[in-house]
Amino acid sequence: MRWRDMLRTVCWLLCCAPLSAAQDLVGLYLEWERDPTTTMVVNWVDLYPESSNTLLWRKEGASEWSTATAAHSVVAPSSLQRRQAHLTGLEADTRYEFAIGKAPDAKTQPLVFRTMPKDLSTRGLRFVNGGDTMATRERFEAMNRCSTALDPDFVLFGGDLAYEDGVKVSRVVAWLEAWTRTSVAKDRRVIPLVVGIGNHEVRGHFQGKVPHDAPYYYGLHVHENWRAYRALDFGSYLSLVLLDTNHTAPIEGEQTAWLASAMEQRANQQFLFPVYHYPAYGTTKAPKDLGPLDAPLSIAIRKHWVPLWEQHGISAAFEHDHHNWKRSHRIRAGQRDDANGLLYLGDGSWGVLPRKVPENGTAWWLAKAEAKNHLWCVDLRANGTATIRALDVEGQVFDTVELATARTQPKRSE
Give the per-residue pLDDT at 21: 45
Phi, psi of 46 (to 5 degrees): -145, -165
- Is residue 260 pLDDT above 60, yes or no? yes
| pTM given for the model | 0.93
For the ranges 8-22, 33-47, 103-117, the lowest mean pLDDT is seen at 8-22
Burial 194-215 (b: 16+ CB within 10 A, else e): bbbbbbbbbeebeebebbebbb
pLDDT at 10 exceeding the cut of 60: no
Nearest C-alpha neighbor of 56 from the set 41, 45, 67: 67
Region(s) of the chain under CATH 3.60.21.10:
125-403
Integer Cα distance of 152 and 219 in angstroms: 26
Phi-psi region at 368: left, alpha or beta (left = phi > 0; alpha = psi -120 to 50): beta
Q: What are the pLDDT digits (tens) for 224-241?
A: 999 999 999 999 999 999
Strands annotated E in 229-301: 230-234, 238-242, 271-275
**pLDDT tens, 43-86?**
999 999 999 999 999 999 999 999 999 999 999 999 999 999 99
pLDDT at 414 exceeding the cut of 60: no
**CB–CB of 183/192 below 8 Å?**
no
Q: Which of 101, 114, 14, 119 is nearest to 55 (CA)?
A: 101
Is residue 285 classed exposed, middle or buried when 0-12, 13-18 and 19+ CB atoms within 10 A define those classes?
A: middle
Confidence of residue 411 (pLDDT cuts 50, 70, 90): confident
160: region left, alpha or beta (phi > 0 left; psi from -120 to 50 alpha): left
Q: What is the mean pLDDT of residues 363-369?
A: 97
Superfamily of domain 125-403: Metallo-dependent phosphatases (3.60.21.10)
Q: Does 4 or 167 have the greater pLDDT score? A: 167
Q: Report the percent of the chain where pLDDT is more than 70.
A: 94
Portion of the chain with pLDDT greater than 90, in percent: 91
Mean pLDDT of 147-175: 98
Provide the pLDDT for residue 105. Answer: 87
3-state helix vs strand vs coil in the chain, percent to 5: 20, 30, 50
Structurally, what CATH architecture does the domain formed by 2-114 represent? Sandwich (2.60)
Strand, coil or helix: what is 139? helix
Model confidence at 35, pLDDT cuts 50, 70, 90, reads very high
Residue 8 has pLDDT above 90, yes or no: no
pLDDT at residue 189 greater than cutoff 50: yes
Q: How confident is the model at residue 177 (pLDDT cuts 50, 70, 90)?
A: very high
The pLDDT, as a whole number, for residue 19 is 45
Q: What is the pLDDT of residue 413?
A: 59
> What are 80-135's pLDDT values in tens digits?
999 999 999 999 999 999 999 999 888 888 999 999 999 999 999 999 999 999 99
Residue range(s) of every CATH 2.60.40.380 domain in the chain: 2-114
Give me the helices (H) in 81-197, please. Answer: 137-149, 169-182
**Is the model's pLDDT at 283 over the cut of 60?**
yes
Residue predicted with more confidence, 7 or 59: 59
CA 396 to chain centre: 21
